[in-house]
Structure 1
């Protein structure tokens, strides 16, 4: 099957928008017969008439309306492509964000809030494991990856890990679970909800080794949303940055222990070197 001739499609679109062959021929600097020939070839290629003649006007057939709708989208996309590469035009391409599946939803929301408030950028959010997300970023299928760990060197040197936030990790839970005089006493007697996030888990293992305690683990969780849910249900004390339980802490449902765990979690926005980065990236990294 022959490919569609886009020159024919463009001339059809011009005539369809004008509704008058003579006027369009003058505007595009073609003779009427040449323009008619272009339209006829497109009709032959598609196997359907595109216009009905009503007096001196050309009126789209049902197929003609379908073809015009597709033509508008095809050439509109081309115009967006040129505007993107020239950094002109008001419309922005979709902003494709990858987020580690274990990452706090509240943190993701805070990072994207300027775009949500602007309401002029479509956001496509994909969650998954680090290796899948970094591969997608490397292939330019994503504009940024949000994570708690910079990418390992195996992914190459084109990545840049921007540290955009740092949160102190604490113990959060129902008030009745926090009535202990020492951190050691609390860790020995209260069930704990521990994320498998590597940086937090490493810090936690160091903490209990330093204190010489054997804690009771109520749940090992690989999703911060589940850490939040289990803490809300009073299944134990959650070891997490406060941003994970920000709403519950603000409402008084959850309280934070006063003990310093000496654990800090960093949050990164990882980008890859490219000639035409998404225009909102610079704004988000400046905040």
Structure 2
């Protein structure tokens, strides 16, 4: 049987990254803790750490063990909470991965209805690259992934991409840029500093192709894997940046920027990726229904 005290020691060392720091936290001597970790590795038959200078790095087996350790102690915390609050309704965790390229406003708009379900839900959000999130979905560490593109066919992961909707694009900029423009859209973008999504974004290529077709040559001054970071730079006046039409009013209020123009020729799409061919999770169904209300089937 698994020694859970050893598992706790392992998790503490993994999170601390060094034996001495973990020993201080556990009120053990480094020698005692080292012996406990060695006994745990011997029991499992694998090495969980390798030394890199003064730090301890996880091996592949160690990273796998840490995933399960986190889940085990999370469930333990939920058990303790449930027993101490037996009269309160238990909130079931709804674990969602959000791809970096998905605008934060869109993520909120789609996920908020899940918090209004009759059965209490505790939303647990994880933001990362789509490939990493899909890997966690495949081992059931996530219930759903929000993304701006379907699950790549090249990934050896069983999952299903459920379209949530699509919309056109607006170009916005700080008022210091927008107030001095005289030309009509889209010619007003020519020569302006432009912020674009990073290589992981499905919007990047269609955006660049649209600019090329229109003969517009802005100066690309930055590219961002995170939409919120791009918006922050745009707010500071670093350049024009694209936003989905469904969020343009929210972005203009939040970042005090103005709209330079919009187009339906560039479409931003959003997907719910799950391990279910047919959606059945109540929270995922709530997200899907919210998407139907927010995105129109045709046009915007």
TM-score band, normalised by shorter chain: 0.5 to 0.7
The number of equivalent residue pairs is 211
Partner of 1:116: 115
| RMSD (CA atoms) | 3.6
Partner of 1:106: 105
Asked if the contact 2:97/2:126 (under 8 Å) is kept, the reply is yes
Runs of 4+ in 1 over 6 A off after TM superposition: 1-4
- Structure 1 residues 186 and 135, CA gap change in structure 2 (3 angstroms): same
Q: Using the alignment, how far apart are the partners of 1:130 and 1:251 within structure 2?
A: 26
Output aligned runs, 1:11-90, within 5 Å. Answer: 73=79
- 1:139-193 Cα shifts (integer Å, max 9, x gaps): 1111000000100123358422121131211210134534232445322231111
* CA positional deviation for 1:92: 5.0
- The unaligned stretches of length 5 or more in structure 1 are 5-69, 78-89
**TM-score, L = length of structure 2:** 0.60
Q: Does 1:177 align with 2:180?
A: no
Output aligned runs, 1:195-274, within 5 Å. Answer: 195-196=197-198, 197-243=200-246, 246-250=249-253, 253-260=256-263, 262-273=265-276
Asked if the contact 2:165/2:270 (under 8 Å) is kept, the reply is yes
- Structure 1 residues 261 and 156, CA gap change in structure 2 (3 angstroms): same
- The unaligned stretches of length 5 or more in structure 2 are 5-75, 84-88, 291-300
* CA positional deviation for 1:283: 2.7
Partner of 1:194: 196
Asked if the contact 1:228/1:245 (under 8 Å) is kept, the reply is no
Asked if the contact 1:94/1:123 (under 8 Å) is kept, the reply is yes
- Structure 1 residues 180 and 73, CA gap change in structure 2 (3 angstroms): same
SS at match of 2:203: helix
SS at match of 1:257: strand
Q: Does 1:128 align with 2:131?
A: no
Q: Using the alignment, how far apart are the partners of 1:175 and 1:251 within structure 2?
A: 13
**TM-score, L = length of structure 1:** 0.62
Larger radius of gyration: 1
